[in-house]
Structures are given as C-alpha cells and as structure tokens.
Structure 1
Amino acid sequence: MQTVLNKFDLTGQTALITGAAGLLGREHAAALLEVGATVVLTDVSEVSLNTAKSLLSVLAPLDRIVTRVMDVSQPASVNAVAEQMVSEGRHIRILVNNAAIDPKVVGGLGIQESSRLENFALDQWNLQISVGLTGAFLCSQVFGTAMAQSGGGVILNIASDLSVFSPDQRIYRKAGVTEDQQPVKPVTYSVIKAGLVGLTKYLSTYWADRGVRTNALSPGGVFNGQGDEFVKRLSALIPLGRMAQVDEYRSAVQFLCSDASSYLNGQNIVMDGGRSTW
C-alpha cells in the first residue's frame, strides 16, 4: 500500500543541484540523499565540490554523490554537463536551482559604500543576475526540456523571504557611519529572488502537461556565526524569535522534490519563521 511516507522516497531518482558546494547547497543535497536520491553536485570550484562530497559521504555511498564543475551563467558549460549526464545514462528528474552570489553586508571597506543603490556598479548587477537568475533560466531551459521530453520531473527554485518583502536595512546599520555610507543589502538580491518566483510561475504552466512541476522555496535567514548584534536585530523581526538552523529546510526540500507534493505547482513556499506575516 502506498503511504504518505512512501511518497517521499526518491530511490532511483537523480537530482542536479546548482551552487551545491555552498552552505544551503550542501543541505539540499543532504536532504535528497536522505530520501534515496542520487545527487549531482555542480559548482564553479572543483575543490569546493570535493569538500562538499566528502562532507556528504557520511549520508550515502559515494556512487550516489556525483560532482561536476559547471558555471550556470555560461550556456556551453550547462550544455556540456547535460551531455555528460546523457552519455553516462543519468536522467535528471529533479533540478534544484540554488546557485547565487549572496553579497555580504560588511561596510566600511572603501571611499564609497558600494552596496548602496547610488553607488552600485553595473558590472556587479550583471554578474549577480547572470548567476542567480540567468543561471536558473539556462538550467531550466536545458534540464527542464529534457524532463519534458522524457516523462516529467521537478524543478525547485531557491528564492528567499526577500522575494516577498523588502530588506529591512536597519539591521545592517553600523554605528558611527554617516547615512550616505551606511551598508545595505544590495538591490540585486531582491530583484533576483523576486525574479525566481516569476520564473517559477512561468515554468509551472509551460510544461505542466508534460509532467514537469515547478515550485520555489523561500528560506529566511540562516544562522551561520553572524555577529550578536545582527542576530539580535534580525531575530526581533521574526515571530519565532530566532534565525533558522542550517538543517531546518531539509524536510521542505524533500517534500517539494518528491511525490509527496504531487499536486503542488507554481507556488512559492515562504519558510521564514513567520517574518513575512508581520
């Protein structure tokens, strides 16, 4: 008998994760390994990929953890990996678009505060969008097309709670810094994450009749050793009163990538401790 728990089982399925060597990328991989999937970790750094594979090896045999260097912003790189998968007999049924450049707010590093909209450089705008948004488009175009031609699959776009509200720039403020030099969360982050939600909705209808579902997951802030003052400020904006632990999104990824969510399509699941409800 098919139970709800059985629907989470991804044994025999292959998932490709972009930006897989990063903090949340590894967690997404861990989530899918836990429920039986084979994972293809992709990122721009072979060294970082090898580290990620080593860390994940405690969860699954090494033959279920594949690494490939891939630059999501370059069509030739994405196509090359797709061709490798085909030549190896690997059929990607799950695509997790996770790759992004997450600009850290530090402040005080130069004559001008480059994070501010007034000073934000066009080359940084282009670079960050090419990875975080164009990369998701290219990977969806290549791997989603293959899914649609071969029985279906799942695309999961990793957005952010900042896809549904604006950054509260007060949490980044630095004491003793003039207003025109105060660091901020750059405009690119919000634009990219909101764009991923738009891409999700578009894709969810485009291949629905071919068995391809697309959803987005919008995590809130993850605790990763940030300073006490920042953590205090951000936690005060969250009804649960704290940031997320790094592994608290695993169950959502398992749900969204498996048949447990078989009737969920085109949605943005905001998982932020309730911050977006205030």
Structure 2
Amino acid sequence: MTTPVNYHTAFDFNGKVVLITAGAGILGPQFAAGFLQHNASVAIADINADATAKTVTELASTYPGRIAGLVNDVSDPSSVTAMVAETVKTFGRIDILVNNAAYFPDNFQSFFMPFEDYSLEQWRKVMAVNIDGMFLVAQAVGKQMLLQGGGTIIQTSSIYGLLASDQRIYQGSEYLGSPINNPAVYSASKSAVIGLTRWLAAYWAEKNIRVNAIAPGGVESGQNDAFTQKYGARVPMGRMARQNEMTSTVLYLASDASSYVTGQCIAVDGGLSAW
C-alpha cells in the first residue's frame, strides 16, 4: 500500500532555501512573501539595488533573519556565479530556484519599434536577459543542486510564449505613459524559456531536479485604461491578473504536492489560452 501523504505539510518549506531572480520586480516580492509565509528562507536577486534594499526591508520587518538581498545581473556570468556563491554562503544551500528575470526597457521607443524596423542590437539586449540569463542562472544553480542531491526550478515564461498577441488591443494602449505593443523578441524569448524548461526537465529528471514553468497572462502594472479594458475583453474572466495571482502556482510547483510534475508550463491567464 502506498504510504499516506500528509497534504497539510506538502506546502511547508521549513528548512528550504529559495533563490528568486528579479526578486524586486513586478512578481518577485509576491513570490518571496509566499515562500516566507510557508517558512522558507529566501534570497532575492535583482539588478536594481534600491528596489532590492526596499523589498528586503519590507519583508524583513515580518520575517526577520530569513530574507537576504543581492544585486545581480543575470546576463553577466561572473555576476551569476557570485549570486549563487553568496546565497550558499548566507543560507548554506539552494533548494528552489525561481528563474524569473526578464528584460525591462531602458528605451521604450527602441523596445517597442515595429518589427520591420527592429534593430539587431535591441533584439540581442532582450535575449541577453530573457534567455541567455535564464540559461546562465539555471546552469549555475543546477550545479549547486547536483551537489546537494536535487532541487526544484520554476522558470517564468509568458502567455505570449504560448500564443501570438492580438495586435488590436495595442491601439491607443500605453505603459507608464508610452505607446506599447508586444515585440516579436519578447514572444520569441519567452517561447525559448519553455523549450529550455522541457529540455532541462528531461536532462535532470534522474538527478532529482524538477523543472517547470509558468506562463503568466497580462498582469496589472502600469498599463493605461485603454489597454486594461481591451485586454480584459479578450480574457474569459474579463480582466487582467493581479500581481499576487501567480504566487500560488509557483508555490505548488516548488512543493512536494507537485512531486510527479516536471517539464510542464502552466498558463495562469484567466482562461485566455482556452479560446
């Protein structure tokens, strides 16, 4: 007879160490809070030093001694190596990686240029973070997990890694006051995340390392009303996601409750991919 499972403790991360890249971004602080609430120790890494310090300060007031912040550039191999070493130095190990970093435009005009005029330089800037950085972090943390005898990796893709975007919703749409679209490079890079996830899941399956991905739908984070309304009209649930609505799926994929789940990409999209 199969040994009964204690489902009450399946989501208990006591003694586990979590590393979250882009830990001070749109989704990272919510991920960190979720793991901290479930008794994990958490290291957040982000390229933005001020945002990292602020996030750590806010979380440490509730979860003292179990949160640390690192300034990191996932596109820089030496920075990634240092991030892993510092996390292990601080907490002793890495059990869970949330590979979450994505490119944030330093020039909205270049990032949102039409495909016909898109520069190779801008394309490579996005890829350097969205997929090269994903590779570098998974590689470095994977080495640590192999030394420990296993671990769990969750990588952040996007609904636009699964679906083409509806160009009609971008007419009159803005993000932080700038006209927006969905660049081809974003979809291409987020599709690559899913491919990398599946490859790693098969490659490390016998090494007790599970690798999965989430594909968030559009998340409220500074879009204007025109975009929010048009996007919501394309979603069966009628709205964009809130920033905290990805966290439970990440916790599930990191937990013992998903012990037989690997190589999957779960869309958290309000039903957008259902039609």
Above 0.5 in TM-score? yes
The corresponding residue for 1:60 is 63
The corresponding residue for 1:40 is 43
Structure 1 gap ranges (5+): 176-181
Secondary structure in 1 aligned to 2:98?
strand
Normalising by structure 2, report the TM-score. Answer: 0.91
Letter of the aligned partner of 2:204 in structure 1?
A: W
1:241 to 238, 243, 255: 238
For 1:23-172, list aligned pairs within 5 A: 23-61=26-64, 63-88=65-90, 90-103=92-105, 114-172=112-170
Secondary structure in 2 aligned to 1:72?
coil
- Distance in 1, Cα, partners of 2:106 & 2:235: 20
After superposing the two structures, state which structure 1 stretch, 8-17 or 96-105, moved more: 96-105
The 3 A distance-change label for structure 1 pair 130 and 104 is: closer
Q: Deviations over 1:198-238 (max 9, x none)?
A: 00000101111110000001111112342211111001100
Secondary structure in 1 aligned to 2:27?
helix
In the TM superposition, residue 84 of structure 1 has moved relative to its aligned partner by 2.4
What is the total number of aligned residue pairs between the two structures?
267
For 1:181-192, list aligned pairs within 5 A: 184-192=181-189
Identical-residue share of aligned pairs (%): 39
- Distance in 1, Cα, partners of 2:16 & 2:53: 22
- Distance in 2, Cα, partners of 1:14 & 1:207: 19
The corresponding residue for 2:21 is 18
The corresponding residue for 2:264 is 267
For 1:168-179, list aligned pairs within 5 A: 168-174=166-172
Superposed structure 1 runs of 4+ greater than 6 Å apart? none
Determine if contact 1:105/1:172 at 8 Å carries over to the other structure: no
Determine if contact 1:103/1:186 at 8 Å carries over to the other structure: no
After superposing the two structures, state which structure 1 stretch, 78-87 or 240-249, moved more: 78-87
In the TM superposition, residue 89 of structure 1 has moved relative to its aligned partner by 5.2
The corresponding residue for 1:178 is none
Structure 2 gap ranges (5+): 174-178
Determine if contact 2:102/2:130 at 8 Å carries over to the other structure: yes
Letter of the aligned partner of 2:228 in structure 1?
A: V
Letter of the aligned partner of 2:97 in structure 1?
A: L
Superposition CA RMSD, Å: 2.1
Normalising by structure 1, report the TM-score. Answer: 0.90
In the TM superposition, residue 78 of structure 1 has moved relative to its aligned partner by 0.8
